[in-house]
């Protein structure tokens, strides 16, 4: 190829100049418009200074972003602003009265953020942005998560717990160091796989080779990036983003197949068992004989349960166990063990669903864990008009971050905010904590977590079984590192030595 050919090819592959100049003009106008809109904002709050081009983005995307939120809340007050680029800001709302108002009145979720989750969960409850559709869906789904239905799922947890006990007993015999955080993740996947997909995925048996586990590991970290940077999901240039889209398709088609089977069985077998939340939802019919949920609505929601439910529950159990393993919390562990021992009265059985609610001290431990290490960050809302609450005016069209981690560690609300102390929750019912809007690990108001009772039952059962049967000792020099990811999670697991207690 001679030089002339090379020049011709180079020119052919270049953009025509008129196209280039039009693109540049559009981009310039876009930025000028954003800058103009940003400079028109009149309501401002104090906040950390960031770099001129990407504001506080570095801190917001850091693994320890949660620590920055705590620091900023203590430094700049209960309402502050941070910037995710030079002209894009978000406002942190940590004032309990304002949180109460925004959540109880159920102001809309911020579509810019929640649209990013739609790749996975479509118009499922979590990412549903139309208030009328949300209300309809919420009231149709809620009965399946009633206490009575949650009780019905208990035997599934017991079955998986028996598998886990076998695994742990073997590790004890072999004197192995166990990363108990992995085992907790696997049991929650098994449990939710059954409840949400009506299938056995054998996560505890297969570990890393479990299909559901592999799909979630590929989807979740990328999904959160697509929620923060919407263009990433819309234009999947990166291989990881394309892989995420492919794996979402796989996950949804597994779910679709389960629904088809359940509905065929329901039509053909009059005695078809409907105990699991999966079957209850898939086969519920309205008075006109039609299924209440379309196939797509079911898939959107089943996938939501799997993702919204698995990760935070597993992290919360790991954080609670970590606190109970620490030498400074020895007395707390002893009290919790006495409570379970008394309930089981010397028996080595697994706790039944009715007894779970009697573990009042264990409940205080779980609530305190969710205060100090709440894995579900909170909720993000947006106003259509400026709003004044408690003398504070919040601007319209700005993302309002109602994050529990900094509020749960606010020294204006909690006397020793950084110390693990279950006594914070003595004589406090789940619903009427100290002050509304100051404790909300499951969010607050009508859009609070749908799976709250299920998650509480799972946490109580797994923790109670663990502390009743085993002694756990943290690996030498282990220090828990919390990471801000899809949820707040333990980034270095929880390595423990286990011995039998009964």
Cα–Cα distance, 456 to 441 (Å, whole number): 12
Residue showing tokens 């359940």: 262
**Candidate residues 340, 450, 464, 489; the one interacting with ligand HEM per rule CB under 6 A:** 450
Nearer to ligand HEM, 54 or 106 (CB): 106
Question: Candidates 43-51, 231-239, 375-383, 385-393 — which segment interacts with ligand HEM by CB under 6 A?
Answer: 375-383
Least distance from ligand HEM to the Cβ atom of residue 399, Å: 12
> Is 449 annotated in some ligand binding site?
yes
According to CB under 6 A, which one of 161, 168, 186, 454 is a site residue for ligand HEM? 454
Of the candidates 94, 96, 233, 375, which one interacts with ligand HEM according to CB under 6 A? 375
Q: Does 303 bind ligand HEM (CB under 6 A)?
A: no
Task: Count helices and strands (H / E) in the chain.
Answer: 22, 11
Tokens of 390: 């408690």
- Could you tell me which residues are beta bridge partners of residue 178? 496
Q: How many residues bind ligand HEM (CB under 6 A)?
A: 23
Beta bridge partners of 82: 90
Q: Does 282 contact ligand HEM by CB under 6 A?
A: no
Is-contact 296 259, C-beta < 8 A? no
Residue nearest to ligand HEM (CB): 451
Distance between CA atoms of 305 and 457, rounded to whole angstroms?
Answer: 15
Q: What is the DSSP letter of 151?
A: H
Interatomic CA distance for residues 14 and 54, integer angstroms: 30
Q: Residue from 138, 245, 274, 326 that binds ligand HEM (CB under 6 A)?
A: 138
Q: Minimum Å distance from CB 455 to ligand HEM?
A: 4
> Cα torsion at 156, 308, 96, 409 (round to 10°)?
80
Query: Does 308 contact ligand HEM by CB under 6 A?
Result: yes
Residue with tokens 């180079």: 10
- Contact status, residue 98 vs residue 438, Cβ threshold 8 Å: no
Binding mask 425-444 for ligand HEM (x = CB under 6 A): ----------------xxx-
Q: Which of residues 472-491 bind ligand HEM (CB under 6 A)?
A: none
**Region near ligand HEM per CB under 6 A, out of 146-154, 198-206, 301-309, 492-500:** 301-309
Task: State the Cα–Cα distance between residues 197 and 203, nearest whole angstrom.
Answer: 14
Q: Please pick, from the candidates 57, 216, 316, 394, the single residue that binds ligand HEM as defined by CB under 6 A.
A: 316
Taking CB under 6 A as the binding criterion, the range among 5-13, 72-80, 350-358, 446-454 that sits at the site for ligand HEM is 446-454
Inter-residue contact 102 to 436 (CB < 8 Å) = no
Report the nearest approach of ligand HEM to the CB of residue 308 (Å): 4
Instruction: Report CA 161 to chain centroid distance, whole Å.
Output: 23
C-alpha span between 417 and 29 (Å, rounded): 47
Cα atoms found within 13 Å of the Cα of residue 218, Cβ hemisphere only? 19
3-state secondary structure string across 405-460: HHHHCCCCCCCCCCCCCHHHHCCCCCCCCCCCCCCCECECHHHCCCCHHHHHHHHH
Residue 492 CB, shortest distance to ligand HEM, in Å, is: 20
- With binding defined as CB under 6 A, does residue 312 bind ligand HEM? yes
Interface with ligand HEM, residue 304, by CB under 6 A:
yes
- Give the interface segment with ligand HEM, choosing from 30-38, 217-225, 386-394, 450-458 (CB under 6 A): 450-458
Cα separation, 459 vs 274, whole angstroms = 24
What is the smallest separation between the CB atom of 3 and ligand HEM, expressed in angstroms?
A: 59
CB of 112 to ligand HEM, least distance (A): 13
- Which residue in the set 313, 369, 438, 465 belongs to the binding site for ligand HEM (CB under 6 A)? 313
Taking alpha carbons only, the member of 282, 327, 322, 310 closest to residue 140 is 282
Least separation, in Å, of the C-beta of 130 and ligand HEM? 12
**Position 181 contacts ligand HEM (CB under 6 A):** no
Q: How far apart are CA 364 and CA 147, in angstroms?
A: 19
| Span interacting with ligand HEM, options 176-184, 323-331, 371-379, 429-437, rule CB under 6 A | 371-379
CA 171 to chain centre: 30
Smallest distance from ligand HEM to CB 313, Å? 4
Number of Cβ atoms within 10 Å of the Cβ of 26: 10
Give the one residue of 233, 236, 309, 437 binding ligand HEM; rule: CB under 6 A. Answer: 309
455 lies in the binding site for ligand HEM (CB under 6 A): yes
Pairing relationship of beta strands 378-381 and 399-403 according to DSSP bridges: antiparallel
Residue set of the binding site: 449
Binding site for ligand HEM (CB under 6 A): 125-126, 138, 304-305, 308-309, 312-313, 316, 375-376, 378-379, 441-443, 447, 449-451, 454-455
Residue set of the binding site for heme: 449
């Amino acid at each position: 190829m001679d030089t002339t050919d090379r020049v011709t090819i180079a020119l052919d592959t270049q953009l025509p100049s008129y196209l280039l100049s039009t693109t540049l003009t559009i981009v310039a106008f876009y930025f000028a418009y954003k800058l103009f809109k940003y400079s028109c904002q009149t309501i401002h709050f104090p906040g950390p200074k960031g770099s001129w081009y990407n504001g506080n983005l570095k801190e917001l995307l850091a693994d320890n972003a949660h620590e920055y939120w705590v620091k900023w809340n203590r430094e700049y007050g209960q309402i502050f602003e941070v910037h995710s680029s030079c002209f894009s800001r978000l406002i942190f709302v940590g004032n309990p009265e304002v949180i109460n108002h925004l959540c109880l009145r159920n102001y809309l979720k911020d579509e810019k953020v929640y649209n990013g989750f739609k790749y996975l969960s479509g118009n499922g409850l979590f990412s549903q942005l139309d208030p009328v559709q949300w209300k309809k869906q919420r009231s149709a789904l809620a009965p399946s998560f009633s206490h009575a239905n949650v009780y019905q799922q208990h035997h599934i947890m017991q079955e998986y717990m028996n598998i886990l006990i076998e695994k742990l007993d073997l590790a004890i015999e072999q004197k192995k160091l166990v990363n108990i955080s992995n085992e907790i993740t696997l049991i929650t996947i098994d449990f939710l796989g059954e409840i949400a997909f009506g299938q056995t995925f054998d996560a505890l048996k297969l570990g890393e080779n479990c299909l559901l586990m592999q799909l979630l590991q590929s989807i979740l970290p990328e999904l959160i990036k697509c929620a923060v940077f919407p263009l990433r999901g819309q234009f999947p240039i990166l291989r990881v983003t394309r892989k995420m889209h492919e794996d979402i398709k796989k996950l949804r088609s597994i779910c679709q197949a389960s629904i088809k089977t359940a509905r065929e069985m329901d039509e053909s077998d009059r005695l078809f068992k409907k105990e699991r939340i999966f079957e209850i939802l898939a086969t519920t019919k309205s008075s006109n004989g039609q299924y209440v949920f379309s196939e797509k609505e079911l898939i959107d929601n089943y996938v939501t349960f799997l993702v919204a439910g698995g990760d935070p529950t597993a992290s919360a159990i790991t954080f609670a166990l970590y606190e109970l393993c620490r030498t400074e919390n020895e007395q707390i562990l002893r009290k919790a063990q006495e409570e379970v021992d008394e309930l089981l009265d010397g028996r080595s059985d697994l706790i039944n669903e009715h007894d779970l609610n009697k573990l009042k001290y264990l409940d205080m431990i779980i609530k305190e864990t969710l205060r100090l290490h709440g894995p579900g960050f909170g909720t993000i809302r947006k106003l259509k008009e400026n709003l004044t609450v408690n003398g504070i005016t919040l601007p319209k069209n700005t993302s309002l971050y109602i994050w529990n981690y900094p509020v749960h560690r606010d020294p204006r609300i909690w006397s020793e905010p950084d110390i693990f102390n279950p006594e914070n929750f003595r004589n406090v019912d789940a619903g009427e904590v100290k002050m509304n809007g100051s404790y909300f690990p499951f969010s607050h108001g009508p859009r609070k977590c749908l799976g709250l009772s299920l998650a509480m039952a799972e946490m109580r059962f797994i923790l109670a079984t663990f502390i009743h049967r085993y002694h756990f000792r943290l690996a030498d020099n282990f220090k828990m590192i919390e990471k801000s990811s899809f949820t707040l999670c333990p980034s270095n697991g929880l390595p423990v030595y286990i011995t039998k207690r009964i």
